[in-house]
Structure 1
């Protein structure tokens, strides 16, 4: 089924309706737009679509911070360090097939572990790695891909000037998480776990 957003049409209709009322003390409250589901061929006189109210879209009502904070509380400690209780939800999008959130340890340093929590919609499916090495960047691509760039010290680097980089891609395909990318031996050795 295809879904077509009616955000512009509904916004225009709401604006027109409010303007026509003449009551300028009322303000419109933005809301999630309804969608149209195209259902296919129909009999003459029967529309081949139905309007699905925004309230039926469960992902639009997820409390991002609450989901992430509950997930952090379930994570095991790393080397006896506790995780910060409130994570960064900027990469968490419950309407996506795959998204992420991050947290680090209390009193972090440049080499502190970073837990990358992966979510299928609003369901936590695991962390990007068991040992959570430092990261340079985590991004999303489309609605189904998370790209993690780890950082690590090359020979002779200080912990502040880590120049090593390794990228791992996570993609949600056919109802499963698929991981790809090459991990240099040095990063695997320093991390102390399988990445």
Structure 2
């Protein structure tokens, strides 16, 4: 097992309560009132918002997170709704009570309204749960202060301030992602171990239902294009290898349209050699929420890599090469690269081609 040298400070997220099976693996080099609510503001610091006189609008479960609802509809259609015995829709705080921190358990006692929802998006070990609540500033501020001193990563999404964390359960549920989003007096908690991203969808649903919470800036991870991240990553690699003209950065940006995802804890992009064939060494660049965190090998491995997603945190790479002088099946080695939550780095598990 090899560990990738991290390139930037980062963390992970996820959320949920309902069903499915999950996989985990390992990775290599560095690198419903009227729609009125709280006061009209775009805070840079959560908890600085003056509360409005009208309550916030919290949509019902079928519209409080459109991405989760769409995933559930897709699953029920393909698997068969009649075969599902699990309950979904409105639920209780069971999952929240299991995973929430002491400060969150204290804060939830002060909510003035709430909606607890879960979605079934697979079988019986994939969870997708969301608490959406209105929380007075007097309770929100100490909660935020505690999140800032704990193992959460803080970011901004337009008017929303988001704290994310991922934990290892040590059981069949694998890695559970927990996020807290604050928009005015609205508090959103997601708990899940799914393979998709639902945080921005939850935020957007609240912004749609509460027009006064205007989105003055656009910082959605879904709107991040690959060019800046890949350009920076390629320059980083070039500085370490001393080969600034070796890589076809424009081709890497073009190919990354299907693989780079700033909403995911782990995504990738390949970096082709300039003016070379497909068998030329091609580094695989790894990104954690859009930040470059390393490669499989800075100078690439001299075979063609085939990358596929295993889970939100893991990527499988098959390295294939033609056996010298043999008209036989090509050689193949398979490795798994995983974002390791405790160490905040990528580790690799599996095989590499000979002489790599």
Which TM-score band applies after superposition, normalised by the shorter structure?
0.5 to 0.7
* CA positional deviation for 1:117: 0.2
Per-residue deviation at 1:143? 1.0
CA contact (8 A) 1:135 1:148 kept: no
The alpha carbon displacement at 1:182 in A equals 2.2
Mapped contact 2:237–2:298 kept (Cα < 8 A)? no
Instruction: Answer yes or no: is 1:140 the counterpart of 2:309.
Output: yes
Q: Secondary structure of the equivalent of 2:283?
A: strand
Counterpart selection for 1:178 from 344, 347, 351: 347
Structure of higher RCO (CA pairs closer than 8 Å, 6+ residues apart): 2
Deviation at 1:139, TM superposition (A): 1.2
Deviations 1:111-140 (A, max 9, x none): 211121001111111111233122241111
Partner of 2:286: 118
2:252 equivalent to 1:84: no
Q: Which stretch of structure 1 is more off in the superposition, 97-106 or 74-83? A: 74-83
C-alpha distance after superposition, 1:134-182 (max 9, x if no partner): 2241111221111111122324237xx8701101100112223121002
Question: Paired residue for 1:130?
Answer: 298
Q: Structure 1 residue 7 and structure 2 residue 66: aligned? A: yes
> Contact 1:169/1:179 (CA < 8 Å) preserved in 2?
yes
Distance across 2 between alignment mates of 1:126 and 1:84: 18
In structure 2, the residue matched to 1:61 is 223
Distance in 2 of aligned mates of 1:131 and 1:44:
54
| Residue number in structure 2 paired with 1:70 | 232
Whole-Å Cα distance in 2 between the matches of residues 45 and 97 of structure 1? Answer: 33
More strand by share: 1
Give the structure 1 partner of residue 99 of structure 2. none
Verify the 8 A CA contact 1:104 1:113 in the aligned structure 2.
yes
DSSP-derived class of the 1:188 partner = coil
- The CA deviation string for residues 9-38 of structure 1, in whole angstroms up to 9 with x for no partner, is 9xxxxxxxxxxxxxxxxxxxxxxxxxxxx7
Number of residues of Structure 1 aligned to a counterpart in Structure 2: 159
Match of 2:325 among 142, 149, 156: 156
Q: Distance in 2 between matches of 1:93 and 1:60?
A: 7
Q: What TM-score, normalized to structure 1? A: 0.65
Structure 2 residues without counterparts, runs of 5 or longer: 1-13, 17-60, 69-95, 97-103, 115-131, 134-186, 189-201, 205-214
Answer yes or no: is the 8 Å Cα contact 2:337–2:348 preserved in 1: yes
